[in-house]
Structure 1
Amino acid sequence: MRTKRKIILSIAGAATLAVSVSMAALAWGHGYASNPPSRSALCAGGAVSDCGAISYEPQSVEGPKGFPAAGPADGEICSGGHAEFAELDDPRGGNWPATAVSAGTRTFTWTMTAAHATATFDYYLTNDRYDPAKPLTRDMLDLKPFASFQMGGARPDHTMNHTVTLPARSGRHLVLGVWNIADTVNAFYSCIDVEFGGGGGGTPTSNPTTSSPTEQPTDCGAWDAAAVYTAGDTVTHNGTTYRAGWWTSGEEPGTTGEWGVWRPTTAC
């Protein structure tokens, strides 16, 4: 009887360990599009206010994979189907800050707070039915990715750069980035507002808007808490030079840690 009991307990223990490992992998693998800044990044960086929980965890927009056949429901795509992140689905009257772009080559950057075995990174673009004043739905998107990066289960770097070719568009549009995980049933979703042929940067007029950060040069000037920095920008702060890993504003160099946006560097 003791032997039988030991076998049963061993099996139960192994099953518990397997579930724990699986759940840990699911919880630790997170990331978001940071440059051009996604809605998650804008909220986390303070460029947009009244964002709720996403301000503190921009990397957590995780939903079912299989887009567009499966995945989050229409109207809930930008939040990954999470009610607690519903602010990302709110079009805010079409006034999310937008990055100026044009047809042709463009680099998109993701920030990974933890690596996860990856199947693909896919990028979708809205079509001429897109209405920036309404929540995103599938009929507003070209459902064939304009760019796709196969990774075959490899784990991404802390910063992932993808060089894509943007199709021709005019006016305000939205890029949907989808990070498909290889060893779970989930994916991460990032909505990136862009403006083709425009002056860029949105100037939100509705209540959720915050102040407009000032531009900062990239020549190792003093860090400015009100400035917007993007990947590669360098600043000095408290006698040390730092390089930004992705889009950021208001995060003090020297306080963001090993996995944070600012990394010490020796050159401008």
Structure 2
Amino acid sequence: MRRLRAAMITAVLGATAIVAPVVLAPAASAHGWVTSPPSRQDNCATGAVSFDCGTLKYEPQSVEAPHGGTTCSGGSAYAILDDNSKPWPRTTVGSSVKIQWKLTANHATSTWEYFVDGKLHQTYDQGGAQPPKDISHTLTNLPAGNHTILARWNVADTVNSFYNCIDITVAGGGTTGGTTGGTTGGETGTTGGTTGGETGTTGGTTGGTPGTCTDAAWDTNAVYTGGTKVSLDGQVYEAKWWTKGEAPSAGAQWGPWKSLGAC
């Protein structure tokens, strides 16, 4: 009987030793990141980059470091985010853009800060409250051209923040067409002007007269979000939603583009 009792105790203790590590294993950390326009870590996670991001591709939500950082990594272990020599994908947007977050753990938050090329552009105050997991913010009055936005999510009840960099091209009036479209944008505008002049003379007031296009030329490799304007063959088009590689002039009424008329 004593031997049987000792054997049972040994079996129970052995089972406890096996089960205990599983029960006590800590849960994986989870936090959040910017998904639209895609942040650098989002592009790593979705395989949109042409290089290896290392373990970051599995942890886009975990770029966490102490408050006050001004780099894409915030000083975390994911230093690849700070390498501006990498061909990070760039999204074309308008002068206003909605920044969409995906929070896997919606920590109590003090503020959301957005820097454009290192300069604070806009701040959203959360007041220490817990945000929804699908929170988004709209940035306005973005300058034309190529820029990098640093989105900094400041947690209220820890010493850390979460860091995201978003590479964008802001399309619009002024010099945007030249910066974004390069030579192509200039050639498109000139062609539109010449053709439009001939059309106006022949058709009178019916067809109108396209002028020089100031909106960026449509690029088959660029990503466009809703509200972005582009020019193509002397015409201006506005994206209805996210699109890539679908020419505005080829779209029917159900396509991603709507025509705004001649430049």
TM-score (norm 2): 0.53
1:29 and 1:115 in contact (8 A); partners too: no
Show the counterpart of 2:75: 81
Match of 1:92 among 85, 89, 97: 85
Aligned partners of 1:115 and 1:180: how far apart in 2? 11
TM-score (norm 1): 0.52
Show the counterpart of 1:37: 38
Matches within 5 A, 1:213-224: none
Match of 2:159 among 185, 188, 211: 185
CA shift digits 1:16-67 (9 cap, x unpaired): xxxxxxx98xx745111110000000000000130011100000010111x2
Deviation of 1:181 (Å):
0.2
Matches within 5 A, 1:1-268: 28=29, 30-48=31-49, 49-65=51-67, 67=68, 71=69, 77-83=71-77, 85-93=78-86, 95-103=87-95, 105-126=96-117, 141-142=118-119, 145-169=120-144, 171-196=145-170, 197=176, 198=180
Aligned partners of 2:104 and 2:132: how far apart in 1? 10
2:90 and 2:222 in contact (8 A); partners too: no
Deviation of 1:166 (Å):
3.5
Aligned partners of 1:96 and 1:214: how far apart in 2? 12
> Highest relative contact order (Cα 8 Å, sep 6+), 1 or 2?
1
CA shift digits 1:148-203 (9 cap, x unpaired): 1111111121211111213323x32100000000000100000001112326xxxx
CA shift digits 1:184-231 (9 cap, x unpaired): 0100000001112326xxxxxxxxxxxx9998xxxxxxxxxxxxxxxx
CA shift digits 1:43-93 (9 cap, x unpaired): 00000130011100000010111x2xxx36xxxx1112123x121111135
Corresponding letter in the other structure for 2:80: E
- Point out the structure with max Rg over C-alpha: 2
CA shift digits 1:75-117 (9 cap, x unpaired): xx1112123x121111135x211111232x2111011011100
Q: Which segments of structure 1 move beyond 2 Å, counting only runs of 4 or more?
A: 196-199, 212-215
Kindly tell me the number of residue pairs found equivalent between the two proteins. Answer: 157
Q: How has the CA–CA distance of structure 1 residues 106 and 35 changed in structure 2, closer, same or farther, with 3 Å as cutoff?
A: same
Aligned partners of 2:99 and 2:47: how far apart in 1? 20
CA-atom RMSD in angstroms: 3.0
Name structure 1 gaps, 5 residues minimum.
1-22, 127-140, 200-211, 216-231, 234-268
What secondary structure does 2:55 align onto?
A: helix
Aligned partners of 1:213 and 1:102: how far apart in 2? 17
Higher helix share: 2
2:29 and 2:62 in contact (8 A); partners too: no
**Identity over aligned pairs, percent:** 45
Q: How has the CA–CA distance of structure 1 residues 91 and 214 changed in structure 2, closer, same or farther, with 3 Å as cutoff?
A: closer
